[in-house]
Structure 1
Amino acid sequence: MSTPCSRVVHLTIDDIVHDNDQVLPRLGEPASQVPAPFAELLLTWIDSRDNMNTATNRDSRWVFPGRRAGQPLHPGSLSSQLNDLGISTTAVRTAAIRQQVLEMPAPVVADALGYHHKTTTRLLNETGGTWSRYAAGDHKRSPTGWVPRGSGDS
């Protein structure tokens, strides 16, 4: 799943777990493993982070330290740098959400990610997903007055 730049810039080096051959950033619980090529790049980045050569940032724990003392990189700056590399954060995020609505109901994805239900339903329709008849809401309880068939009350 794609994570917004606003969350990524708040990662500290303590949030990157290096366990044997696995690199696991803690963006949620449990931490998610990143693929080998990206894992190596991430570890190399941590060892040679930008904005570390000033007196105010020498001990910064941010994975993406900002120019201001004690502050992470601004999310817009990270997004801009990714766009300069040819990585569209909007396209990546949309692709990740489209994958999610193929795997689970659009209202569930909307609630989990904080999107409007209409947005995830539109993305579901664009992908040709099969969750179109899913009714959002609490499915643990029956409507008032509802009696299941075959309950002997016929």
Structure 2
Amino acid sequence: MVRALVANRRGKAKIGTPGDAPWLFPGGRPGHPIGDDRLGLRLQKIGLQPRQDRSTALFTLAAELPAAILARMLGVHIQVAVRWQKASAGDWAAGVSRRTSAGRA
């Protein structure tokens, strides 16, 4: 499906052949990808909810990874990653502590 999309992609300012454009979703300005707002609208038109899906993915990651790794991986401040962990009830350090204690008993 991705190969078909690349072969048939189009954008308002697309210049050259599909093989010349570096973006899977070319935007309205030459040399730039589509904006996140426009991509979100396109996804909504086909029934996807990008905000809800993004939040679900972030909360899942926050519940499974230490805040330091999450922050570095996503390029967010450590305090933001800690807040996501608390909101998702993914206190990673406490979870590791409980597993370690349970394994020793």
Tell whether the structures are fold-level matches, with TM greater than 0.5: yes
Q: Residue 51 of structure 1 is aligned with which of 11, 21, 24? A: 11
Post-superposition offset of 1:79: 2.1
Q: In the alignment, what sits opposite 2:99?
A: none
Give how far 1:105 is off. 0.9
Matched, 1:71 2:32: yes
Structure with the greater alpha carbon radius of gyration: 1
3-state SS of 1:68 partner: coil
Deviations 1:84-119 (CA, angstroms, capped at 9, x unpaired): 323222222222222222222123212321223343
Counterpart residue number, 1:86 = 47
| Residue ranges of structure 1 left out of the alignment (5+ in a row) | 1-40, 135-154
Q: Specify the alignment match of 1:105 in structure 2.
A: 66
Which one has the bigger strand percentage? Answer: 1
Q: Which runs of 5+ in 2 are unaligned?
A: 96-105
TM-score by length of 2: 0.63
**Distance (Å, rounded) in 2 between the aligned partners of 1:82 and 1:69:** 22
Higher normalized contact order (CA 8 Å, seq sep 6+, divided by chain length): 1
Matched positions, count: 92
Aligned to 1:145: none
RMSD over equivalenced CA pairs, Å? 2.7
Question: Alpha-carbon deviations, 1:23-57, whole Å to 9, x = none?
Answer: xxxxxxxxxxxxxxxxxx212211211228x7x62
Normalised TM-score (structure 1): 0.47
Which residue does 2:98 correspond to in 1? none
